[in-house]
Amino acid sequence: MQGLDVAFSALSDQTRRAILSRLAAGEATVMELAQPFAMSQPAISRHLRVLEEAGLILRRVDGAKRPCRLAPDGITAIDQWLGVFRKALEANYARLDKVLATKTVQRKGKQ
Amino acid sequence: MTMTKMTLKTEGDKHIVVTRRFEASPEEVYRAHTEPSIIQKWLLGPDGWTMPVCVSEARSGGKIRYEWSDGKGKGFYLTGEYLALEPFRRIVHVERMHLPDPTPDNHVETTFEQDGSGTLMTMRMTLPDANTRAAMLATGMEHGMEASYVRLEAIL
């Protein structure tokens, strides 16, 4: 689960989430990504490095450019992890179903 | 049938919204969320964990304290306060986990609506920011939600 810790830590920054949103629309260069932010390209590059190390984005070499795109595996891992939280809640509620069923039966039994 | 009844989604930067339908009246579901003896039967988390201490003063300003134990010396607790209660329709409270340092407050509004022969529960959590929301979700994981997941898979 260490990979997910890194991924969530990477996601805890608003700029990095905005970068991911932009990349959801397709591949982009550092210059293109820097445009909407009041940030230097080196600052954006640092954010990209964090996202890359977290396994959330992939970069390829295209001459002097290193365009970025979303890493499907990383995004899927986060989705699955939310699924775990969901299942833990569901386990509690499944227990509550049983408690409620017992109470309802008791109540009906008394009538 | 049980797996499709719950929805869980994040909303904006700070919210988590959970809905779940129960085959019981709003009164019964509301009481299951406010009466200690009932809460102790279901709000447990991983296999083998129990809630030996459950304080739930269901009135505006009333205190909440849940203590969980794995029976082998490990445990953690949650404290909170009720802000508003409308029996058997709505509960508003704040809560925080102690691990042992307190996490930022989670503001929770839970509503119970009649839905045919059952009840639709909607729980809307508001965290201070996206970072806290991510950390809260991650904390649940560390505390053995993986075990819940495995156990549930076994049931399915």
Helix residue ranges, H only, B1-156: 26-34, 36-42, 130-140, 146-155
Total domain count, chain B: 1
Among residues B118, B79, B71, the alpha carbon closest in space to that of B98 is found at B79
Model pLDDT, residue B143: 43
CA distance A25 to A69: 9
- In a domain, residue A31? The reply is yes
Helix residue ranges, H only, B3-156: 26-34, 36-42, 130-140, 146-155
Q: Is the whole-model pTM more than 0.80?
A: no
Let me know: does B147 contact B46? Beta carbons within 8 Å.
Answer: yes
CA distance B66 to B46: 15
- CATH number for the domain spanning A77: value is 1.10.10.10
Chain segment A26-49, per-residue pLDDT in tens: 889 988 888 887 888 899 999 999
For this complex, say whether ipTM is above 0.85: no
> Which amino acid, residue A110?
K
Of B5, B22, B130, nearest to A100 by CB-CB distance is: B22
How would residue B153 be classed by pLDDT, with cut points 50, 70 and 90?
very low
Tokens representing B63 are 């205190």
Tokens representing A29 are 């260069």
Of A13, A82, A104, nearest to B24 by CB-CB distance is: A104
Q: Report the run of H or E that residue B64 belongs to, with start and end.
A: strand B63-69
- CA of A103 vs chain B CAs: smallest distance (Å): 8
- Taking an 8 Å cut-off on Cβ atoms, the answer to whether B22 and A86 are in contact is no
- In a domain, residue A103? The reply is no
Q: Which domain holds residue A31?
A: 2-82
Bridge partners (DSSP) listed for residue B125:
B16, B108
CA distance B58 to B31: 10
DSSP 8-state secondary structure symbol assigned to residue B141: I
- In a domain, residue A77? The reply is yes
Measured over the CA atoms of residue B67, residue B81, residue B10 and residue B113, the dihedral's sign is positive
* Nearest chain B residue to A4, by CA: B138
Q: Is A12 on the interface with B (CB under 8 A)?
A: yes
Model pLDDT, residue A84: 63
Cβ contacts (< 8 Å) between A1 and chain B: which residues? 141, 146
Chain segment B54-111, per-residue pLDDT in tens: 999 999 999 999 998 888 888 888 999 999 999 999 999 999 888 677 878 999 999 9
Share above pLDDT 90 across residues of chain B, in percent, rounded to a whole number: 48
Q: Which domain holds residue B124?
A: 2-155
Chain segment B10-27, per-residue pLDDT in tens: 788 788 888 999 999 999
- Taking an 8 Å cut-off on Cβ atoms, the answer to whether B135 and A12 are in contact is yes
- In a domain, residue A107? The reply is no
Radius of gyration of chain B (CA): 15
Residues 18-47 of A with CB under 8 A from B: none
How would residue A12 be classed by pLDDT, with cut points 50, 70 and 90?
confident
Mean of pLDDT over chain A = 79
How many C-beta atoms surround the C-beta of residue B114 within 10 A? 13
Measured over the CA atoms of residue A53, residue A57, residue A60 and residue A61, the dihedral's sign is negative
- In a domain, residue A109? The reply is no
- In a domain, residue A89? The reply is no
* Nearest chain B residue to A18, by CA: B13
Chain segment A70-81, per-residue pLDDT in tens: 887 777 666 665
Chain segment B63-74, per-residue pLDDT in tens: 999 998 888 888
- In a domain, residue A111? The reply is no
- In a domain, residue A21? The reply is yes
* Nearest chain A residue to B8, by CA: A86
Cβ contacts (< 8 Å) between A82 and chain B: which residues? 8, 10, 137
Tokens representing B47 are 């296999």
Total domain count, chain A: 1
